[in-house]
Amino acid sequence: LMSVFLIPYLLIALIGGIPIFFLEISLGQFMKAGSINVWNIAPLFKGLGFASMVIVFYCNTYYIMVLAWGFYYLVKSFTATLPWATCGNPWNSLECVEIFRHEDCANGTAHGNLTCDELSDKRSPVIEFWENKVLNLSGGLEFPGAINWEVTLCLIACWVLVYFCVWKGVKSTGKIVYFTATFPYVVLIILLIRGVMLPGAQDGIIYYLKPDWSKLAAPQVWIDAGTQIFFSYAIGLGALTALGSYNRFNNNCYKDAIILALINSGTSFFSGFVVFSILGFMAAEQGVDISKVAESGPGLAFIAYPRAVTLMPIAPLWAALFFFMLLLLGLDSQFVGVEGFITGILDFFPTTYAFRFQREVTVAVTCVVCFFIELSMVTEGGMYVFQLFDYYSASGTTLLWQAFWECVVIAWVYGADRFMDDIACMIGYRPSSWMKWCWMFLTPLVCLGIFLFNVAYYKPLIYNNSYTYPWWGEAIGWGFALSSMLCVPLTALYKLIRAKGTLAERWHHLTQPIWGLHHLEYKVPESDIGVLTTLTPVSDGSAKVVILESVM
């Protein structure tokens, strides 16, 4: 993507990403609950919790496939000659050609005795390794074929890693993340230093930074920016509320949210230099425009970069470094997703059902269930299944729908000012009014606008610009999307029907917060006027009502 993408990216981060990122973390910290029970703040909309659980379950199921493929490439990197660098392997076809020198077309020949027309029909060993060896790609979704046992073993290894990192909770995961979150920065810096030294790297970086203003009018750029922000910030997955619930009650989540959001976007921006320096080198090497070598999605990680490292000296070293970094980054994301799901499940069941090793067993069952679903993705038709999950289950459409309702519920049902007061109780001061205005107006409008763009410019899923999914494949995809999106209206309708009284009485009753037992005598830092506020629980029937006491 050209750097014009950065403009909508930064704009949506400011008015959409950061405000909801902060909202979810602070909500989890205040309610001290996972993704389902946090919506006790407005019980009528508890469907938001169920929706986030559905989305994060889908994410946990398909996202780990990227790790499995990365692990497979990492293992295959420990050879003198990279297996995707040459033709002549059992998985290569007769159409395989190792060197593409398009600039030689001016002389009438491009490779040996091949003309340029003949060369256009030939295939790179990198693509053949990816499609014929790793994916063993079949003709379509309707042809699942056999299971690739090598990739399946890599998938098992990834799930074992995730299980033993998550099974004991955030304290043990936190120690592991010190390494998995920081080491990729070391690798990125090494790869950037190597990248900028390559011929053509400067052109790649200029291409990255020089905007094409005409693209700003294209709705797809805004849709992509919104989707990227919401997915990279893990918004709408319930993971942020789960992690926020583990914070101390008076933790400054406002400062944390802004710092984490800046680090997230800063890392993405920095990674762009690494990627485009490599793409510039590839374009120079092949004698084509950079737009011709740029890939997106799995293609960037498993086609563009592997192709680039084959052109470098000591190729196996750079390949191993890159895929090790990819594995660590992916594991971090998977930890967050699994933790968010497990916290939601454990919070949902009453403590009376608790048993020894409850967490360990729940994590194990989740991992095993996800693994068996993923067996459909390690078959010959597995990539078609993966794309179906990626395009529909945790797409921009579902995340934007989720974010829109989160803002509406907190800002208009519970009350934006009321929630700002709750945050002030925790951190000792009211956050910027910008957050309140975003929750009330800007963020819901942006979410709704991009959501409607998404629907209006909807294109059926096509794999690799060639394979069109059958109608029943699309129906399954929409089933994934609607399974989370319908949670909100259906749960609200069910609760309204089951409640007693007039419609106004039902609404009033179902929008009153249900305070949990966790609101116990929390001490809050002194405010600007020197009043110390504590939350004291007072029994009121079966629920716990929290009142504020001010002591001078």
Taking the C-alpha atoms of residue 44 and residue 489, their distance in angstroms, rounded to an integer, is 10
448, 420 Cβ separation under 8 angstroms: no
At 402, list the tokens.
């989720």
The radius of gyration computed from the CA coordinates of the chain, to the nearest angstrom, equals 25
Q: What is the DSSP string of 231-247?
A: HHTTTTSSHHHHHHTTS
How many angstroms from the chain centroid is the CA of residue 254?
Answer: 22
22, 254 Cβ separation under 8 angstroms: yes
Please choose, from the candidates 257, 248, 251, 243, the residue with its C-alpha nearest in 3D space to the C-alpha of residue 343.
243
Q: Which residues belong to the annotated binding site?
A: 232, 264, 329, 332-333
The strand pair at 467-468 and 532-540 is best described as unpaired
Taking the C-alpha atoms of residue 289 and residue 35, their distance in angstroms, rounded to an integer, is 46
Amino acid of residue 320 = A
20, 235 Cβ separation under 8 angstroms: yes
Taking the C-alpha atoms of residue 278 and residue 182, their distance in angstroms, rounded to an integer, is 22
Taking the C-alpha atoms of residue 216 and residue 157, their distance in angstroms, rounded to an integer, is 43
Taking the C-alpha atoms of residue 100 and residue 125, their distance in angstroms, rounded to an integer, is 11
Helices (H) and strands (E) in the chain, counts: 24, 5
Taking the C-alpha atoms of residue 321 and residue 341, their distance in angstroms, rounded to an integer, is 31
Taking the C-alpha atoms of residue 276 and residue 384, their distance in angstroms, rounded to an integer, is 28
Maximum CA pair distance of the chain? Answer: 90
The strand pair at 467-468 and 543-551 is best described as unpaired
Please choose, from the candidates 364, 24, 357, 437, the residue with its C-alpha nearest in 3D space to the C-alpha of residue 160.
364
Taking the C-alpha atoms of residue 266 and residue 401, their distance in angstroms, rounded to an integer, is 26
Please choose, from the candidates 303, 309, 316, 286, the residue with its C-alpha nearest in 3D space to the C-alpha of residue 126.
303
At 135, list the tokens.
């994916």
426, 434 Cβ separation under 8 angstroms: no
Cβ burial, residue 476 (10 Å; 0-12/13-18/19+): middle
Taking the C-alpha atoms of residue 530 and residue 489, their distance in angstroms, rounded to an integer, is 44
59, 394 Cβ separation under 8 angstroms: yes
Cα angle 164, 357, 50; round to 5: 80
Q: Which residues belong to the annotated binding site for Na(+)?
A: 232, 264, 329, 332-333
